Structure 1
């Protein structure tokens, strides 16, 4: 369970003051497509509000504590070529 869809649902009939009840649904890493589809469906229902998704896909999260690049390589040996200078323009001098 690394994907969760949360939403609030109005349990009262239309015309009465809303009573928001929290709901959640858990999904496995492989069910991201289904989780996104369910979010879309929940958002189209006017009785739902605050529909959101939270995930920490195991295949998309780096190893704990790995934040260094030495000699152009990550700790696991992969080549790292990204640079802020090449994407953000020249740095401003103060």
Structure 2
């Protein structure tokens, strides 16, 4: 189990005050498509709230993020010019 879909389900009829019941559904590493489809169906139902998915897949393509940048390049030699200022729309200072 490396993928889990969490949500809150309202167990009361619509006319009454909601009673939120936490629920979760577990999926294997290879079932991401099914987990995403399940999230989509849960979000379509107004009796559900706070639908989210969490995963810790065992076969990642690589490590998360960039470990180091030297002279504008990552350890594997690829150019790296991302900056928070550029993402926020501000003019990048050079």
Structure 1: runs of 5 or more not aligned: none
The residue that corresponds to 2:82 in the other structure is 84
RMSD: 2.8
The residue that corresponds to 1:55 in the other structure is 55
Structure 2: runs of 5 or more not aligned: none
Contact 1:69–1:80 (8 Å) recurs in 2: no
Aligned residue pairs: how many? 86
The alpha-carbon deviation at position 82 of structure 1 amounts to: 3.0
Per the normalisation by structure 1, the TM-score is 0.70
Per the normalisation by structure 2, the TM-score is 0.70
Secondary structure class of the residue paired with 1:41:
helix
CA distance in 1, matches of 2:14, 2:92: 56
Could you list the structure 1 runs, at least 4 aligned residues long, displaced by more than 4 angstroms after superposition: none
Secondary structure class of the residue paired with 2:8:
strand
Secondary structure class of the residue paired with 1:43:
helix
Change over 3 Å in CA distance of 1:82–1:48 after alignment to 2:
same
CA distance in 2, matches of 1:54, 1:6: 8
CA distance in 2, matches of 1:12, 1:61: 45
